[in-house]
Amino acid sequence: MYEDYRLIYDHHTHTIYSHGKGDIVDNVKVARQKGIKEIAITDHGPGHHFYGLDKKKLPEMRKKIEELKVIYPDVKVLLGVEANIVTMGNFLDITVEELKDYDIVLAGYHYGVSHGHVFDNYICSHFGFPSGSRQALEILNTDMTIGALYENDIAILTHPGDKGPFNIKEIAKVCAETNTLIEINNKHKHLTVEEIKMIEKYDVKFVVSSDAHKPEDVGCVGKSLQRAREAGIDFSRIANIELS
């Protein structure tokens, strides 16, 4: 089923500006080789302590992208960010005012940031929690995610359910309300098959993303599509897939 498809865009890729292995041009070249007409460079938000992007380098990144648009006019290149969801302010590690610095904003939960229940989520994910504690943490995680969706113009919610307990149903409802695409990530296991089945009844649209950290992985979404197939969703609900 659905073997004949084309990936229209890959809006989740990383470069050396966070912890990717290639430069912006490397990701663009691979996208072009694979016939992908649009790519976003979405390095991790500046609040990540280990590999957040340096905001001072945004002009440098923008300059490279503008140059690549001339060299490769057949590929649309967007300067984006994968912002980190946190508990404070507008629930992202970039401010509402800073959103305008990017062509596209993705948001996801990660370890390595302050104000994100990081220790509790890490322990819960790796070692389990006493009875009742997981439910309390799920409420906190879900609340900050929903807050981020309401407070910001987020194009894609990345790998929801990864790195901690989240109420995927409640998050999906808000994604539908805010017209936010919910990601089936190729690098991480979320959304899982079970999670996709859980939320397919809501009026939410999906997106498949490579989450490439190496240039050669740009456009690789096979694992994402396999989970979508197993969940039985109509591929017309995946925003960046065109069926032949």
List pLDDT tens digits, range 159-193: 999 999 999 999 999 999 999 999 999 999 999 99
Query: 191-199 contacts: CB < 8 A, separation 24 or more?
Result: 191/159, 191/160, 191/161, 191/227, 192/161, 192/227, 193/227, 193/230, 193/231, 195/160, 195/161, 195/168, 196/227, 196/228, 196/231, 196/233, 197/231, 197/232, 198/168, 198/169, 198/172, 199/168, 199/169, 199/172
**Model pLDDT, residue 131:** 52
Mean of pLDDT over the chain: 94
Residue 132 pLDDT exceeds 70 = no
Distance CA 36, CA 205 (A): 20
pTM of the model: 0.95
Residue 72 pLDDT exceeds 50 = yes
Show the tokens assigned to 216. Answer: 């050669």
Q: Per DSSP, what are the bridge partners of residue 10? A: 39
- Length of the chain in terms of residues written: 244
Residue range 211-229, pLDDT digits in tens: 999 999 999 999 999 999 9
- Residues of the chain with pLDDT > 70: what percent? 97
Distance CA 116, CA 230 (A): 32
Tell me the domains of the chain and their CATH numbers.
Answer: 5-243 (3.20.20.140)
